[in-house]
Structure 1
């Protein structure tokens, strides 16, 4: 199990496959540098960022999925630990952010969809729903996507959300974290924080 979580009553978590830009997004949100690398799987344990004067923590959970040089058993253990973490802290988590790569997410979902297989991204999206946690899908690296609206419609379709994507702006947020273009995400997160009666946390988003 993951250890070292600060004792905080409110939390926003980032989850997603390896190399989708979660650590870059954390840097944009906090102004603090986190370990990133060209090699997937750099983040093996959670990165917690908390503000000592506030009862709030922002958490970047480890990436999951294929990682070069990482044993399959270890990859599965990371995924299991992520699920346990979300279940254990569900009462404190105000928003779950699933970060995906806008260029590859549809192909990855399609590749892992089958009668006996649910893609991890889709599984996580519905896990948040089952746990009663509002979920925002941050579709990152949109600067590399040509057919923007079509791609976002496809993402909605794969998640069981009826397109067009623009009716789901509290759930689907196109961003480019590397360029600091994350306003659709912060707007969506603020919507859910407001619904939870936590406008005091707007200063962090």
Structure 2
């Protein structure tokens, strides 16, 4: 079952990522609007869109993918497939794809998958966004729980194929703490991509 009901908008920012990394909280900070989501991972199967009726723009929070406790593998795979298809189908309209990861656990999760000979979901999604020419921004969330900040961010860059130090990737790596409303690096990165797309008219939504 593929996603339905996308608003008719010419410009879009999508949020993608594993379950329980804080995408909905980040969406709330970006839009000022609360989105009710299921407490169990995998319950939300459709995107949450927040669009302004007078503006040709929408933020879209896509369902979380990857391992989910109590959700069978077929359903997990179906969710990821739907997310990929959505991004691919709408790539020409997407100004930025925000990959949300948990700053404390992302590197460890990536390493575990690679040790098993699997392509980690986060690495795969980051590469996919770039393949379909969607500017990728990694919102490294929950940074308030990370002690070795620079080391962790440099390790994440390395896993994503970006040369450290992370500070040189300000348009791609955005350390945030959505729960505390600390998302300025993400807003700055999005402003840069909006300007590159010559959509200064939409800068007010990431100010």
Q: Write the distance in 2 (CA, Å) between the matches of 1:37 and 1:28.
A: 19
Partner of 1:166: 167
TM-score by length of 2: 0.96
Any unmatched runs of 5+ in structure 2? none
Is residue 19–residue 38 contact of structure 1 (8 Å, CA) maintained in 2?
no
Alignment of 1:38-117 (within 5 A): 39-114=40-115, 116-117=117-118
Is residue 176–residue 186 contact of structure 2 (8 Å, CA) maintained in 1?
yes
Alignment of 1:114-193 (within 5 A): 114=115, 116-193=117-194
1:61-101 residue CA offsets vs partner (Å, 9 max, x unmatched) = 00011112211110100000011111100111110000000
Deviation at 1:38, TM superposition (A): 5.4
Shift in alpha-carbon separation, 1:42–1:174, aligned structure 2, 3 A = farther
Deviation at 1:161, TM superposition (A): 0.3
Q: Alignment length, in residue pairs?
A: 205
Q: Write the distance in 2 (CA, Å) between the matches of 1:29 and 1:90.
A: 21
Partner of 1:23: 24
Q: Write the distance in 2 (CA, Å) between the matches of 1:46 and 1:104.
A: 25
Is residue 170–residue 189 contact of structure 2 (8 Å, CA) maintained in 1?
yes
Q: Write the distance in 1 (CA, Å) between the matches of 2:36 and 2:153.
A: 29
Give structure 1 regions of 4+ aligned residues with deviation exceeding 3 angstroms. 36-39
Any unmatched runs of 5+ in structure 1? none
Q: Write the distance in 2 (CA, Å) between the matches of 1:169 and 1:15.
A: 19
Q: Write the distance in 1 (CA, Å) between the matches of 2:185 and 2:44.
A: 25
Q: Write the distance in 2 (CA, Å) between the matches of 1:129 and 1:107.
A: 23
| Deviation larger for 107-116 or 129-138 | 107-116
Deviation at 1:47, TM superposition (A): 0.3
TM-score by length of 1: 0.97
Is residue 35–residue 43 contact of structure 1 (8 Å, CA) maintained in 2?
no
